Structure 1
Amino acid sequence: MGAKYRAGVTDEPDDDAGDAAPDAVERRAADVDAGGHGERLDRWLTGLAPEFSRNHLQALVERGCVSIDGRPQAKTAHRLRAGQHVEVELQPTDESRAFRAEPMVLDLVFEDEHLLVVNKPAGLVVHPAAGNWSGTLMNGLLAHHAAAATLPRAGIVHRLDKDTSGLMVVGKTLEAVTALSRAIAARDVHREYLALAWGRIEGAFTVEQPLRRDPVSRVKMAIAPAGQGKPARTDVFPLGVGEAGGRPASAVHCVLHTGRTHQIRVHLAHAGHPLLADTLYGGVPALGLLRQALHAARLTLDHPVTGAELRFQAPLPADLAGAWAQIGAAGLAG
């Protein structure tokens, strides 16, 4: 319990071909015919390498991976002339490199042959996506155990935001992944959070508002109009009230009944209590925090194979613990 393991090379035999595949580089060349005369370089390349997107081919040009008559050409809008010889080094896309093992330290709270529970630090992205194609929890899981490569999303069945810390359960077998996914859908996996929010919160309340993607900013979620979006409910319990920069701020215990993207952040902001340092939803920084003040502190579920009840609790990380102390709030009860 609480031990840290270094995810690294497994005991499985090396597979040189498998390791090399994501980085395989092909060189392709052709002469510009009469039909290509006057065409933009990036557009012409889509005919030479149709399996790649135009955006990726443009990036290859800008990286110096394309030459014309032996001279590098870094301008995507360069106009070609008939008879020119074009060569391109077809480097793999960032997406194709995403699903690879990357050794990293994992703070494992629990692990058996069926599942593991990890205490995710703030700043760690859970799953590769645009802007974060490597260095994610999924990359670490692929390095931690060989079976992860055979599982959907390496066994990840739910997520935490990049800058939210705390507990996550991950399946290690297809049986466990399937059972955990069903338990989450049935709301039989219980997740509780600790948060610091702006304003004075002295009584418990519930926010039950559907959520959808913000129609203006695609990086945000928003309260949906009646009859739209996905149902979402958050229970909020006060743990203490203090001050941050001369303004009231409260420590709260949040219980999720659904697991929508950014749910607690949007619900508390909707209630007039955005999280400290959650700049995406109007929460200004305070108490030295550089990320939203949210921590997945408690996780309760039935083991997907044995049926035994599993209960885990993760202490506040240093940044939140320091801010919590300044508020003077209590912690979670038993």
Structure 2
Amino acid sequence: MSGRRALPVPDGLEGERLDAAISRLFGLSRTRAAELISAGDVLVDGAGAAKSDRVQAGAWLEVTLPPPPVAPAPVAEPVPGMTILYEDDDIVVVDKPAGVAAHPTVGWTGPTVLGGLLGAGHRVATSGAAERQGIVHRLDANTTGVMVVAKSEVAYARLKRAFKERTVDKRYHALVQGHPDPLRGTIDAPIDRHPSGDGRFAVVAGGKPSVTHYDTIEAFRAASLLDIDLETGRTHQIRVHMAAVRHPCVGDLLYGADPTLAARLGVTRQWLHAVSLSFDHPITGERVTFTSDYPADLAESLERVRAES
């Protein structure tokens, strides 16, 4: 959405601050809107203005939007700690370690699943954007566990459809603060980017439909271990939904987790692990299931919370 835009200020924005108006009109964060204003990329009735100026309905806005940032190409290099759970001509299933993104994104300079596979000599599908080749679903960089990548073009198309049609069973375990009430339930709340524009997501009216089913496996004094079945697959969905019901994942400081509890249990990231993935194999049609054990850091913190209960 780069280039020059010119339009009158809508009646509904009468009296708003200029940075707030630009933010709402173009879907930018307030910070980004303020940067454009200070750089002289926003004119009001042909003249420069300050971010705190109040806009009048009908005033003529001219805004020069920068080109969107482009994600870097994947760096093909082996990723230590990433193991292959299964591979054939069409799919490769990995056990993703913490600190590894699914694919390159703007601002991420660390290792990626895609780069790790390419670096180890694995072929991946070339469908989709160059930086997301073969990627049919994602795990957050600091969420560990099972992830499938398409190697053939037909597998890519069929797996993308399977995720969209929700025929894939995605199961996670999460250690969350406190005790959800009820112990078993469903969180059905729409998710979209947080209005602050700081990279978080949130439950917001008009967001994308998002459904999370949870069941308590074990309750401890300070936390609960949950089995989570994702019906949809929004970015940060489990983290956002658990935080929304006041039970954030232990260690998830981005979504309001207690740093004291995290430190006591030795948790340095969100306690969230993709334990299993079941889907119809894109070529044979056979139902396949892949599972992953807890990595050492999550297993150790689970023993600590169990010992103190």
Using the size of structure 1 for normalisation, the TM-score is 0.65
Look up the match of 2:173.
Answer: 194
Q: Partners of 2:274 and 2:280 in 1: how far apart?
A: 18
Deviation at 1:138, TM superposition (A): 1.5
Look up the match of 1:11.
Answer: none
Structure 1 residues 125 and 96, CA gap change in structure 2 (3 angstroms): closer
* Contact 1:240–1:328 (8 Å) recurs in 2: no
* Contact 2:99–2:111 (8 Å) recurs in 1: no
Structure 1 residues 305 and 267, CA gap change in structure 2 (3 angstroms): same
Q: Partners of 2:183 and 2:124 in 1: how far apart?
A: 44
Structure 1 residues 265 and 96, CA gap change in structure 2 (3 angstroms): closer
Look up the match of 1:317.
Answer: 295
* Contact 1:277–1:291 (8 Å) recurs in 2: yes
1:77-123 Cα distance to aligned partner (Å, 9 max, x none): xxxxxxxxxxxxxxxxx968633422334301111111011010011
Look up the match of 1:280.
Answer: 254
Look up the match of 2:202.
Answer: 222
* Contact 1:194–1:297 (8 Å) recurs in 2: yes
Question: What aligned pairs does 1:105-116 form with structure 2 within 5 A after superposition?
Answer: 105=80, 106-116=82-92
Look up the match of 1:301.
Answer: 279
Q: Partners of 1:230 and 1:218 in 2: how far apart?
A: 19
Look up the match of 2:210.
Answer: 232
DSSP 3-state at the match of 1:104: coil
Q: Partners of 2:118 and 2:231 in 1: how far apart?
A: 30
Q: Partners of 1:140 and 1:108 in 2: how far apart?
A: 11
Q: Which runs of 5+ in 1 are unaligned?
A: 1-93, 330-334
1:250-285 Cα distance to aligned partner (Å, 9 max, x none): 111111000000000010111110111100100124
Deviation at 1:180, TM superposition (A): 0.3
Q: Which runs of 4+ in 1 moved over 6 A?
A: none
Look up the match of 1:91.
Answer: none
DSSP 3-state at the match of 1:98: coil
| Percent identity (aligned) | 42
* Contact 2:170–2:278 (8 Å) recurs in 1: yes
1:200-232 Cα distance to aligned partner (Å, 9 max, x none): 23610110001010111331001011xx11000
Look up the match of 2:237.
Answer: 263
Q: 1:150 aligns with which of 83, 108, 126?
A: 126
Q: Partners of 1:191 and 1:168 in 2: how far apart?
A: 10
User: Is the counterpart of residue 179 in structure 1 residue 153 in structure 2?
Assistant: no
Using the size of structure 2 for normalisation, the TM-score is 0.70
Q: Partners of 2:226 and 2:74 in 1: how far apart?
A: 37
Deviation at 1:308, TM superposition (A): 0.9
Measured on the aligned residues, the alpha-carbon RMSD in Å equals 2.0
Q: Partners of 1:234 and 1:119 in 2: how far apart?
A: 22
Q: Partners of 1:233 and 1:160 in 2: how far apart?
A: 17
Q: Partners of 1:310 and 1:237 in 2: how far apart?
A: 23
Q: Partners of 2:277 and 2:122 in 1: how far apart?
A: 26
Q: Partners of 2:282 and 2:109 in 1: how far apart?
A: 30
DSSP 3-state at the match of 1:122: coil
* Contact 2:125–2:151 (8 Å) recurs in 1: no
Q: Partners of 1:135 and 1:160 in 2: how far apart?
A: 13
Q: Partners of 2:216 and 2:230 in 1: how far apart?
A: 15
Which amino acid letter does the alignment assign opposite residue 172 of structure 1?
K
DSSP 3-state at the match of 1:222: strand
Q: Which runs of 5+ in 2 are unaligned?
A: 1-68
Q: Point out the structure with max Rg over C-alpha.
A: 1
* Contact 1:120–1:167 (8 Å) recurs in 2: yes
Which amino acid letter does the alignment assign opposite residue 295 of structure 2?
P
Which amino acid letter does the alignment assign opposite residue 135 of structure 1?
P
Which amino acid letter does the alignment assign opposite residue 143 of structure 1?
G
